[in-house]
């Protein structure tokens, strides 16, 4: 990773045109040096300059290079296959977001449905983005619903009373969404036979494969892969909250560049109900 940014990289970071960056440099209003006729911008100085311009207290302690938040099977695979070298701790959207706010990681996967407006994740992170330098970037749309045994008579949420069910841990967005679906269907959670708590999407689906339960609230891709039944409920947005400084560091850049490869595209095709056509789109941008 270079300690210097190019004019284009600075323009992308500030969401400005390159011409504007040249103007700032010409007026000595932005940290830069000129070498062999080319402008170079010291990475650390640029980050401090952005914080000072935004009236934000300079954070001297860097975030640990850890990915937090919700489990996504393609995201997990891409982290490993890309060779980006970033460790991950997946323990749910809410847990991850709380840890991210405490600066325990550089990125966080979330899929939390808005309550006051249509859409996903913007209500969760919107207030935080007003006072921090982070971006909310889209990763994928995913089909979510009930994963059931192939010969099950379960046709919807209303049929879950008395059935063996695999829940997710508190702090998992899928559990929050499921509880809302139960409420909307007029089904009390007390009527479900909760046989276990799964820590990720894979574990939840395998509980149905192994006969431990009748249903779980999971992703279509796992129902398809394990030849289980599936009752669709919603299409959700899985997004990444990323520290803007870390966005241009080598780990995140290697991961994002990998998503443009044929290996990544081939792997995604194995996941039914998984749409990455909008991957990389910045949905919300924090303060400068």
The structure's pTM equals: 0.79
The number of helices, as runs of H, and strands, as runs of E, in the chain is: 12, 13
* Same domain? 151 vs 285: yes
Q: What does the chain come to in residues? A: 288
Out of 32, 53, 74, pick the residue that ends a domain.
53
Return the percent helix, strand and coil in the chain, to nearest 5: 40, 25, 35
Quick one: pLDDT at residue 244? 87
User: Does 142 score more than 50 pLDDT?
Assistant: yes
Residues 212-232 pLDDT 10s? 999 999 999 999 999 999 999
**What phi and psi values does residue 261 have, to the nearest 5 degrees?**
-90, 160
> CA–CA separation, 286 vs 126, rounded Å?
8
Q: Which residue has the higher pLDDT, 129 or 56?
A: 129
DSSP-derived pairing of the beta strands 88-90 and 67-69? parallel
CATH classification at residue 44: 1.10.10
Looking at the fold, whether 13 and 89 belong to one and the same domain comes out as: no
Kindly provide the b/e burial profile for residues 75-92, where b requires at least 16 CB atoms within 10 angstroms of the residue's own CB: bbebbeebebebebebbb
Phi-psi region of 131 (alpha: psi -120 to 50; beta: other; left: phi over 0): alpha
pLDDT band, residue 265 (cuts 50/70/90): very high
Which residues partner with 274 through β-bridges? 142
Regarding whether 44 and 163 lie in a shared domain, the answer is no
Check residue 47 and give its pLDDT: 78
Question: How far is Cα 248 from Cα 10, in angstroms, rounded to an integer?
Answer: 10
Model confidence at 261: pLDDT above 70:
yes
Residue 116, domain CATH: 3.40.190.290
Can you say whether the dihedral through the CA atoms of 201, 204, 206, 208 is positive or negative?
A: negative
136 in the same domain as 83: yes
Q: Which residues contact 19 (CB under 8 A, 6 or more apart)?
A: none
Same-domain pairing of 28 and 163 = no
State the pLDDT confidence band at 62, using cuts at 50, 70 and 90: confident
Given this model, what pLDDT does residue 101 score?
94
Hey, what are 222's tokens?
């796992």
Task: Label residue 273 left, alpha or beta by phi (over 0 means left) and psi (-120 to 50 means alpha).
Answer: left
Residue 277: domain span: 61-288
Q: Where are the beta strands (DSSP E) in 78-201?
A: 88-90, 107-110, 134-148, 164-168, 193-198
User: Which residue would you say has higher pLDDT here, 49 or 260?
Assistant: 260
Residues 6+ apart with CB under 8 A from 35: none
The pLDDT value recorded for residue 29 is: 87
The mean pLDDT of the chain is: 91
Mean pLDDT of 246-253: 92
Which of residues 240 and 43 earns the better pLDDT score? 240
pLDDT above 90: residue 26: no
Q: How confident is the model at residue 61 (pLDDT cuts 50, 70, 90)?
A: low
Average pLDDT of the segment spanning 50-59? 59
166 and 144 together in one domain? yes
- The whole-number pLDDT of residue 57 equals 43
pLDDT of 256 above 70: yes
Same domain, yes or no, for 45 and 126?
no
């Amino acid at each position: 990773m270079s300690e210097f940014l190019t004019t284009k990289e600075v323009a992308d970071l500030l969401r400005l045109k390159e011409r504007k960056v040249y103007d700032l440099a010409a007026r000595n209003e932005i940290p830069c040096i000129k070498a062999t006729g080319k402008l170079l911008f010291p990475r650390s100085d640029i980050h401090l300059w952005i914080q000072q311009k935004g009236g934000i207290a300079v954070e001297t302690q860097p975030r640990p290079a850890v990915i937090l938040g919700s489990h996504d099977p393609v995201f997990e695979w891409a982290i490993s296959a890309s060779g980006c070298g970033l460790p991950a701790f997946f323990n749910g959207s809410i847990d991850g977001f709380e840890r991210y706010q405490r600066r325990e990681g550089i990125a966080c996967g979330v899929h939390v449905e808005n309550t006051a407006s249509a859409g996903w994740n913007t209500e969760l992170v919107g207030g935080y983005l007003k006072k921090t330098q982070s971006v909310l970037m889209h990763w994928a749309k995913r089909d979510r619903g009930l994963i059931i045994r192939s010969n099950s008579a379960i046709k919807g949420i209303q049929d879950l009373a008395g059935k063996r069910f695999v829940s997710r841990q508190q702090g998992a967005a899928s559990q929050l969404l499921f509880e809302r679906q139960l409420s909307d269907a007029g089904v009390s959670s007390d009527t479900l036979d909760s046989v276990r708590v799964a820590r990720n999407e894979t574990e939840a689906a395998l509980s149905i494969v192994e006969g431990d339960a009748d249903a779980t609230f999971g992703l279509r891709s796992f129902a398809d892969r394990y030849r289980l039944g599936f009752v669709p409920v919603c299409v959700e947005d899985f997004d990444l909250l990323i520290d803007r400084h870390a966005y241009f560091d080598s780990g995140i850049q290697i991961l994002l560049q990998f998503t443009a490869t044929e290996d990544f595209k081939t792997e995604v095709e194995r996941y039914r109900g998984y749409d990455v056509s909008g991957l990389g789109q910045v949905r919300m941008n924090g303060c400068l």
